[in-house]
Amino acid sequence: MSSPIPSGGNVALLIDADNASSDHFDPVLTVLAELGTVNIRRAYGNWSKPALKGWARQAVTQAIETQQQFDLTKGKNATDMKMTIDAMDLMAGGRVTGFGLMSSDSDFTPLVTRIRQQGIPVYGFGSDKTTDAFRSACTRFIDVGALIREQQPEPVIYSETGENGDGTEVSPELLKLLIDAYNAVKRDEQGYARLSEVGQLAGNRSSFDTRNYGFKRLSDLINSIKNFKVEVRDGQTWIKRVH
């Protein structure tokens, strides 16, 4: 689902290189285009570690500013603190209109909460194991694994029983979220509701993003769900729950 936040802003992408894969960088940039141009790109980590070689290569070709953080204590690193300090400095400067955070570390939850209190949107990019606290704190949280799979999406037909045609289980939470949003918006005499209004209401949940389900647009997702009937009127998409 596309964000209602207008584009054209100055976006900062801060990367916890110890907890993010360099393979996800390009798809993340594509998503952040919804907020504006990613002019600030910083990756944090101990660059002497072999595990960060992928990020080192990306830094050369993608104009990423590397931030060296030594492991001052065994088993810990100073990345979280430096990212937090930099984010606060960028926010205080008043020139950044949106943030992207590539990390699955829940320690960044207070930082995200503070930035959003300033009225600045924060997109989080992490794995499917990211805690609910971090997901909910973000304006939009996107599962980077699903983001990669979106490049070759396989349509999934959702049903009331939580299974599709080939018996593969799917999460019933998505269906409940969409039905709840549909029930909450205004409908015409035939029971149809504007898809844009349903999507806006569902989008209040930061974890709801159609990319997490392998679809680029909300209309594509809805068309795959047999619980809804879709109708287009004068360029606007309307939906009706059928069962």
CA-CA distances (angstroms) from residue 23 to 46, 120, 132, 146?
A: 18, 27, 24, 13
Dmax (CA) for the chain in angstroms is 65
Structure-token pair, residue 81 = 């603190």
Give pLDDT, residue 81.
87
Neighbours of 210 (CB within 10 A): 22
Give pLDDT, residue 165.
39
Burial of 144 (0-12, 13-18, 19+ CB in 10 A): buried
Handedness of CA 136, 140, 145, 150 (dihedral sign): positive
Whether the CB-CB separation of 7 and 34 falls below 8 Å is answered with yes
Domains 9-149 and 172-241 share a fold: no
CATH no., domain 172-241 = 3.30.420.610
Give pLDDT, residue 6.
43
Q: Where are the domains of the chain?
A: 9-149, 172-241
Burial of 3 (0-12, 13-18, 19+ CB in 10 A): middle
Nearest partner of 148 among 28, 1, 61, judged by Cα: 28
Whether the CB-CB separation of 164 and 170 falls below 8 Å is answered with yes
Give pLDDT, residue 85.
94
pLDDT (tens, 9 = 90+) of the chain, 243 residues, equals 434 444 468 999 999 998 899 988 888 888 888 888 899 999 998 888 888 999 999 998 888 999 987 765 554 556 788 899 999 999 999 999 999 999 998 999 999 999 999 999 999 999 988 999 999 999 999 998 887 765 544 444 444 444 443 333 346 878 888 888 888 888 999 999 999 888 887 876 656 788 887 788 889 888 888 888 999 998 899 999 987
Please name the CATH architecture into which domain 9-149 falls: 3-Layer(aba) Sandwich (3.40)
Nearest partner of 31 among 218, 199, 215, 211, judged by Cα: 211
**Identity at 198, one-letter amino acid code:** V
Give pLDDT, residue 4.
43
